Amino acid sequence: MAKKSPARKTPAKAPVKLSPRDKKTMASLTGLADGVVKAANARRDPFVDIPSRTLSNVRYSARKRIIEMGTGKNRRQLFDLSQAKSYMRTMLVASGCKRLLDEGKTTSLRGLFYMLKHTIEKTKENTFDDQNECDTIIEDVEVLINSIREELHLYAENRGAMVGNITIVDRGDTIDCSRMGSGGYAIPSIVEPEVIELNRKKCDANFILHVEKGTVWQRFNEDRFWETHNCILTHGAGQPPRGVRRLLHRMHNELKLPVYCVLDNDPWGYYIYSVLKQGSINLAFESQRMAIPEAKYLGLRSIDFDRCDLSDSVKIALSDSDKKRANQIAKYPWFEKKRPWQSEIQRMLKNDFKLEVESLISKDISYVTEVYVPERLEEQDWLD
């Protein structure tokens, strides 16, 4: 592959015009490569310092109410047995992104994985065996050269959907989200202003209701909840991908819409809320662009089993890992000082079971859309 690229570069280079953003990215990539040459010339061990993406290197800013990345860095050296391979992969990903920039094209994470995957000369070893290996390296490169995925011309699979009283422009096409049928508008992975334009005047909705997964979203959409309550309805297919989070962030800030979440009553649901609200540990460098500190947690609550008078059959026992996770979450700095949250988590542990949003169906098929959510909104009964 390395041999092929110079031949291909020359014809491809001329016609593509780099945007100012691309130029900045390109400069960072070149800087990375120059570092290697410099080290080799000085007969020194080449290395990169990658900001560390671990819990120990994130800081909760009480003022901004988001998770921010600290200054901790991990040195990745070429001449270190345990790091040599990841160093090589880092360089490969950087070179792959450079080629994408050169050719003015974007590709999916999986596409890049295939672009870079090959057998290392004279061995039976592959550069990458698994897409996950490639994905983490991409995140490393993002923090390393301080450019987000979009700037590297990479995108993820579309995940999550939206429906509601809003009209947006996506790559020049006007999309009326109140006329999306049963499937909804698939939220793309890149939702930057160049791709999606939001306009306050074209939005009638009063708030955003984010639900955890497609099945629940389906229920709300079928009951035309967004119509009766004049809102926007989104879901993130579990842990919301960056596209969904970024879009929620933009709508929240640009259209001034409050965000309410309806998630499962389990540690996983708490964590999804935590990510939406404060940002994730892994992608702490993007919190600024994605976190919505004002997001509210509508439900399900651990008191709902009694409050809604649910039957025993909907209980799901907590596993050991659930309990461990719950205790971990309780200790996160952004939950630690919030008494309602502490009692919420303790209550769940005391219950010793978890509840999915679907469990409300046991009351009535549309209980969640007709009773549960409207009541919570009416009473302004939520966790913050």
Partner 1 sequence: MAASSRKKKPATRKSRSESNGSASSNDAAPRKAAKRRSTAQAMAASQKEISVSEFFAKNRHLLGFDNPRKALLTTVKEAVDNSLDACEEAGILPEIWVHIEQTGAGRYKVGIQDNGPGILKKQIPLIFGKLLYGSKFHRLRQSRGQQGIGISAAGMYGVQTTGKPVKIISKVSPRKPAHYYEIQIDTKKNQPKILNGRGDGVDIPPGEKGASVIEKHGIEWVDQPHGTRVTIELEAKFVRGRGSVDEYLQQTAIANPHVTLHYLDPEDYEYDYARSAEVLPHEPKEIKPHPYGVEVGRLAQMIEESDSMTMGEFFRTKFSRITPAIGRKLCGAAKITVRTNVRKLNRSHADNIYQAIQTIKISPPATDCICPIGEDLILKGLHQVVPGEFYAAATRPPGVYRGNPFQIEVGLAYGGSAPTQNVTMELLLELLEETDTRTVRQFLIHTFNGLGGDGADKIVKVAGLKTRQNPTALKPKDREKLFNAMKDVNVAEGQQMEVMRYANRVPLQFQQAACAITQTVLGTNWRGYGLSQSRGAMPKGPVSIMVHIASVWVPFTSESKEAIASYPEIQKEIRLGLQAVGRKLGMYLRRRMKVKQQSDRREVFMRYLKEVSGAVSVINGAKQDELYDKLLRVARKVTSEADVKLDDRGRPIEEDPTEMDLGENVLIVDPSAHEAAINRVEMVEEDEE
| Site residues for partner 1 per CB under 8 A | 1-3, 5-6, 9, 29-30, 32-34, 36-37, 39-41, 43-46, 78-79, 81, 84-85, 87-88, 91-92, 94-95, 98-99, 120-123, 125, 127
369 vs 129: CA distance, rounded Å: 45
**Which residues is 76 bridged to in the sheet?**
48
Minimum separation from the CB atom of position 141 to partner 1 (A): 12
165 vs 206: CA distance, rounded Å: 9
45 vs 207: CA distance, rounded Å: 54
Q: Known catalytic residue: 372?
A: no
Q: Report yes or no: 276 and 258 within 8 Å, Cβ to Cβ.
A: no
Give residues with Cβ within 8 angstroms of 257, minimum separation 6.
203, 205, 206, 207, 208, 232, 251
- 222 phi/psi in degrees, rounded to 5: -65, -35
Minimum separation from the CB atom of position 45 to partner 1 (A): 6
Closer to partner 1 by CB, 116 or 196: give it: 116
335 vs 138: CA distance, rounded Å: 30
Closer to partner 1 by CB, 110 or 118: give it: 118
Minimum separation from the CB atom of position 86 to partner 1 (A): 10
Minimum separation from the CB atom of position 297 to partner 1 (A): 45
Minimum separation from the CB atom of position 135 to partner 1 (A): 18
Closer to partner 1 by CB, 113 or 341: give it: 113
Q: Report which of 181, 149, 146 is spatially closest to residue 163, judged by C-alpha positions.
A: 181
Greatest CA separation for the chain = 73
Q: Which two tokens stand for residue 365?
A: 């098929």
Closer to partner 1 by CB, 92 or 191: give it: 92
Which is catalytic among the residues 60, 87, 114, 271? Answer: 114
Closer to partner 1 by CB, 91 or 208: give it: 91
Q: Which two tokens stand for residue 237?
A: 């297919």
282 vs 159: CA distance, rounded Å: 19
Q: Report which of 36, 33, 171, 17 is spatially closest to residue 101, judged by C-alpha positions.
A: 17
Q: Report which of 338, 359, 169 is spatially closest to residue 351, judged by C-alpha positions.
A: 359
Closer to partner 1 by CB, 44 or 171: give it: 44
Active site residues: 114
